[in-house]
Chain A
Amino acid sequence: MTGRRAVEKSTTPTPASGSTKRAPQGRGTRRTPGLDDEPELIQLLTPAGERIDHPDYPLEVTPQEARSLYRDLVLVRRVDAEGTALQRQGELGLWASLLGQEAAQIGSGRALRPDDFAFPTYREHGVAWCKGVPPVNLLGMFRGVNNGGWDPNENNFNLYTIVIGSQALHAVGYAMGIQRDGADSAVIAYFGDGASSQGDVLESFVFGASYNAPVVFFCQNNQWAISEPVERQFRVPLYKRAAGFGFPGVRVDGNDVLACLAVTRAALAHARSGQGPMLIEAYTYRMGAHTTSDDPTKYRSDEEVESWREKDPIQRLRAYLDKQDLADAEFYAEVDREADELAAQIRAACLALPDPSPTSMFDHVYADAHAQITEERAFLADYLAGFDGQEG
């Protein structure tokens, strides 16, 4: 039982690092000596694309599956690039890029079953992809035509959450519902390293542990919460925090899609089998700006960004495919062609998103008739009608 072994392994405290360990590349200056060791990551693929095994997280991937993961990575990167381009061209008001975090999202997303429910923040475009959410759904809020805009129950993918950390509690509550229903599905809650400071996230740990809820906490530690480095959020590596709440925590190489897949599968199995929550810290990096309104040059060095470029999740999987001779030029060309097509589709869908009608703001606010809404809607409709026939 993978889940059980994961528990035993990961609850064992990792000894504090000795001075022999090297600080992670590019971040040495900000580390507190002796407090933050060389990250011990669960890895199934080295940055050079060598396949390695981990005793607790065995994983079989067929050549077909490996190619399919590659395709996912490339396609969501393209969805993301299109989002950024659309924002630059004034078609979106804002875009939160996932660049660099594709493996964490695809790996964890592909571990989910259709009946597992995902609670994202606002950057989980790759998880949405895995859950079968049409990419155009993700654009509405960023374009400013809605504040969410899809039915969370359709793909078991919750609405994006802007208020940092809120959704972790919702995830636990949903998991408590699953428990009561006697179902064997699980829930996954996504949040960032910054979010781990929020009371809501810590309270979600308490509730999750206390009720032994079938929930996986998936933190994408992309090293930055806007301009605040992880050191501002925690001094002990995040995954170790789980032990204090009474459930296992593991740190996985977030740029290794195979490791993310294997570890998330194990955590979901753990949750499904009634053993309660598990925390996964996917150690990764946000390659771009926090959002399109951010200027990361104000707070981080090019050197740091460059050091992470070498760990690119797509290059890593491609190196593996090449080494194993699992893909040829034709396959890559086909994926690229598909990506071009997808980008064009997204662009067209974005441009086709109609502006909401002015009175639509009164829609769906209440389930039942509500006098105030009725009155105010009538006022606005009447007021706007006064402009009919006028210029502008």
Chain B
Amino acid sequence: MAQVTLAKAINAGLRRAMEQDPKVLLMGEDIGKLGGVFRVTEGLQKDFGPDRVIDTPLAESGIIGTALGLALRGYRPVCEIQFDGFVFPAFDQITTQVAKFRARSLGTVRMPMVIRIPFGGGIGAVEHHSESPETLFAHTAGLRVMACSNPLDGYWMIQQAIASDDPVIFFEPKRRYWEKAELDLPATEPAAPFDRARIVRPGTDLTLAAHGPMVRTCLDAAKAAEAEGRSLEVVDLRSISPLDTDAVAESVGRTGRLVVVHEAPVFLGLGAELAAKITERCFYRLESPVLRVGGFHTPYPPSRIEEVYLPDLDRVLEAVDRAFAF
């Protein structure tokens, strides 16, 4: 067992996928010699060559559009978008072309493409480097949208995403890249199928549902709540589309309360979807309304006040208090 960071774990996952399938290609800006700005692809170009780890021109629409062509030709491109805010030049290709290709070809064409996006805030960056655009993609049918939250999942989920014949938007919580876990690579087993949520901390009084960077925040909140005598269950959603509502409903069936936490704005966010679904499914079991904690309806603020925008342990616990006050 070794201490492995999330960035290293994803790197190891990419490496293993490339070793196992010669059709897997990596594409993106600065992913070669530099190893990507977060060093997630470090060393891969050296070992697999520039034809499989492709440094692209600075053009996101170009990256995704050509990846579509490569996928059509039988390759499995894994594209890196440097930061969340830079996926938008490629938004057209992703939502109007990549997402719909399979349906338009009546299922005859596979679109096995992964689009890796380091997302979320908390690193003190300038604008366009801290956003959480996951629901913009989840709202588009044809795309699978997922977010890993820890090294074990980073390692396995990226491989599962690459193995999928559907296009996958793969969100990586950039502020967690340097967090470590004990891992035995590559012998470790995947924690779960990539489209399933997972209970990462059992509890009895309230369910916290989160994905990506907020899973750690919720675990911290659950720990703090324990000291106050409350037992919170934390569900790592992992997949955003499809959303594993069964797992959440089952958890809420036991705890009777749900707080959904994400960095993206609350308005029309993932929390809204979960609140509606859970209210529908667990109405008679709920002891309080489903509450949401997330970003505000503002542009992502300058970094000096991002900690007010981003849900933290206090904001989560405040919502927990409100849930118990009903």
Contacts and interface: CB of A to CB of B under 8 A. Distances in A.
Interface of A: 93-94, 122, 140-147, 162-165, 194-195, 197-200, 225-228, 232-233, 293-295, 298-299, 355-358, 360-362, 365, 372-373, 376, 380, 383-384, 386
Interface stretch (B57-65, B208-216, B227-235): B57-65
B304 A372 contact: no
Given A144-B126, A162-B126, A298 B35 contact: yes
Given A198-B89, A294-B37, 15 more contacts: A122-B126, A198-B58, A199-B62, A225-B29, A226-B34, A227-B55, A355-B304, A356-B305, A358-B305, A360-B305, A361-B296, A361-B309, A373-B298, A376-B296, A383-B315
Contacts of A232: 55-57
B182 interface: no
Interface of B: 29-30, 32-35, 37, 55-59, 61-62, 85-86, 88-89, 124-129, 267, 296-299, 301-306, 308-309, 315, 318
A195 B89 CA distance: 12
A225 to B, nearest CB: 5
Contacts of B59: 197-199
B302 A372 contact: no
Most buried by A among B34, B57, B126, B267: B126
A146 B56 CA distance: 32
Given A141-B126, A144-B126, A198-B89, A361 B62 contact: no
Contact of A141 (B29, B37, B127): B127
A195 B126 CA distance: 19
Contacts of B61: 199
Nearest to B314: A387
A197 B57 contact: yes
Nearest to B127: A147
22 contacts: A93-B303, A144-B302, A144-B303, A147-B127, A147-B299, A147-B301, A147-B302, A163-B85, A164-B86, A200-B89, A225-B29, A226-B29, A226-B30, A233-B58, A355-B304, A356-B302, A356-B305, A361-B299, A362-B298, A372-B297, A373-B297, A376-B296
A27 to B, nearest CB: 15
A145 B304 contact: yes
A373 B58 CA distance: 36
B33 A227 contact: yes
Nearest to B123: A93
Most buried by A among B267, B301, B309: B301
B107 to A, nearest CB: 30
A374 to B, nearest CB: 10
A143 B303 CA distance: 8
B30 A197 contact: no
A358 B30 contact: no
Contacts of B309: 361
A70 to B, nearest CB: 32
A143 to B, nearest CB: 7
Nearest to A148: B127
A180 to B, nearest CB: 28
Nearest to A363: B298
Most buried by B among A142, A162, A384: A162
A357 B302 CA distance: 11
A380 to B, nearest CB: 7
Given A356-B302, A356-B304, A361-B301, A94 B125 contact: yes
A293 B34 CA distance: 12
A362 B296 contact: yes
A165 B267 CA distance: 30
B196 to A, nearest CB: 33
A383 B319 CA distance: 11
A198 to B, nearest CB: 5
B205 to A, nearest CB: 22
A187 to B, nearest CB: 22
A240 B256 CA distance: 67
A226 B30 CA distance: 7
Contacts of A144: 124, 126, 302-304, 306
